[in-house]
Chains A and B, each alone.
Chain A
Amino acid sequence: AQKVTQAQTEISVVEKEDVTLDCVYETRDTTYYLFWYKQPPSGELVFLIRRNSFDEQNEISGRYSWNFQKSTSSFNFTITASQVVDSAVYFCALSEINTNAGKSTFGDGTTLTVKP
């Protein structure tokens, strides 16, 4: 069975601080995808990134960066110089590769509040 754990339920930071959102996963599969989604107050989930399990190279996109550590089953997400617009619920998700569904298992989310 797959499981995604986002231990941080809520995080509050002041604008311009860096913040890291943790994600730990469990799976018996040797190949899988990991995702991060953002759900702003408007409610619509927005895809941020997808990572293959066989590619541990970290990725940076503007103020966002992702640290994938297969040895610790973690896929953490860092926002540098946070802004008020980053306030949202962030979900980490895991998806099998070798199935017909590509069904994703989501964590419970981390609510990030960035204060001005």
Chain B
Amino acid sequence: GAGVSQSPSNKVTEKGKDVELRCDPISGHTALYWYRQSLGQGLEFLIYFQGNSAPDKSGLPSDRFSAERTGGSVSTLTIQRTQQEDSAVYLCASKAGRRSYEQYFGPGTRLTVT
């Protein structure tokens, strides 16, 4: 498809387990973002990748959170030792490049930690 895709769409996990969330950006887009959206809240920036530059990790809430982007395309957000407060919708967005500002969002992954 032409848009940003994310998988899984829903994930239920037990407290303490690790989870991996995947994002496939729009082909050719060099910039990729991860956001977290808690119930009834706005989007909280987590991490940003731009080309081969070092990622901006300033939004990651703790060292349990990490992300990587392989080959400048697919990205994986990993949450280790999940906590109940990690329950949220995790959104991925991509944009064409450093000088573009329109972000295209994926449908999100709804994470529930029980």
Which residue numbers of A lie inside 8 Å of B, CB to CB?
A: 4, 6, 33, 35, 37, 42-47, 50, 91, 93, 95, 100-109
Q: How far is the CA of A42 from the CA of B43 in the complex (A)?
A: 16
Counted as pairs of residues, one from A and one from B, with CB atoms less than 8 Å apart, the total is 55
Given contacts A103-B48, A107-B42, A109-B42, contact A47 B104 (CB under 8 A): yes
Query: What would be 15 A-B contacts, judged by CB atoms less than 8 Å apart?
Result: A6-B42, A35-B101, A37-B105, A43-B89, A44-B108, A45-B91, A91-B43, A100-B56, A101-B48, A102-B95, A102-B98, A103-B56, A106-B42, A106-B43, A108-B40
A43 adjacent to B95 (CB under 8 Å): no
Closest approach, in angstroms, between the C-beta of A93 and any C-beta of chain B?
Answer: 8
B70 within 8 A of A: no
B66 interface contact, C-beta 8 A: no
Minimal beta-carbon separation of B64 from chain A (angstroms): 22
User: Which residue from chain B places its CB closest to the CB of A105 in the assembled complex?
Assistant: B45
Known: A44-B106, A47-B104. A100 touches B98 (CB 8 A): yes
The 10 closest A-B pairs by CB, nearest first: A45-B105, A108-B42, A106-B43, A106-B42, A44-B107, A101-B48, A102-B101, A33-B101, A47-B102, A101-B56
* Chain B, residue nearest A32 (CB): B101
B40: min CB distance to chain A, Å: 8
* Inter-chain contacts of B50 with A (CB < 8 A): 100-101
Interface residues of B (CB under 8 A from A): 31, 35, 40-43, 45, 48, 50, 53, 56, 89, 91, 93, 95, 98, 100-108
**B contact residues around A43 at 8 Å (CB):** 89, 107-108
